[in-house]
């Protein structure tokens, strides 16, 4: 997977001894992880269910 390769490259460039994980950074990582999980869950839905979801209107706040 390309992301894994990029992560390895970025990981080798980081100096972990000076890495500061703030609550804000941790919150952002958590949001990314949740999105990744939701995206994977959508991939397991049956085609007829995905088709039905396409017809559901989206409301943005």
Examine residue 35 and state whether it is found in any structural domain, yes or no: yes
Domain hosting residue 31, numbered range: 19-56
Query: How far is the C-alpha of 4 from the C-alpha of 6, rounded, in Å?
Result: 5
Q: What is the mean pLDDT of each run of 10 residues along the chain (61 residues)?
A: 50 70 90 87 83 72 62
Q: What pLDDT is attached to residue 12?
A: 59
Examine residue 32 and state whether it is found in any structural domain, yes or no: yes
Examine residue 5 and state whether it is found in any structural domain, yes or no: no
Q: What pLDDT is attached to residue 54?
A: 75
The tally of domains found in the chain comes to 1
Q: What pLDDT is attached to residue 8?
A: 52
The whole model's pTM is what?
A: 0.47
Examine residue 3 and state whether it is found in any structural domain, yes or no: no
Q: What pLDDT is attached to residue 46?
A: 86
Q: What pLDDT is attached to residue 23?
A: 92
Cα→Cα distances 1→30, 43, 52, Å: 21, 17, 30
Examine residue 33 and state whether it is found in any structural domain, yes or no: yes
Examine residue 2 and state whether it is found in any structural domain, yes or no: no
């Amino acid at each position: 997977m390309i992301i894994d390769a990029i992560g390895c490259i970025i990981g080798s460039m980081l100096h972990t001894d000076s890495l500061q994980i703030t609550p804000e950074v941790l919150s952002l990582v958590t949001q990314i992880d949740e999105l990744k999980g939701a995206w994977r869950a959508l991939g397991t839905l049956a085609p007829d269910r995905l088709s039905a979801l396409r017809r559901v209107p989206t409301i943005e706040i």
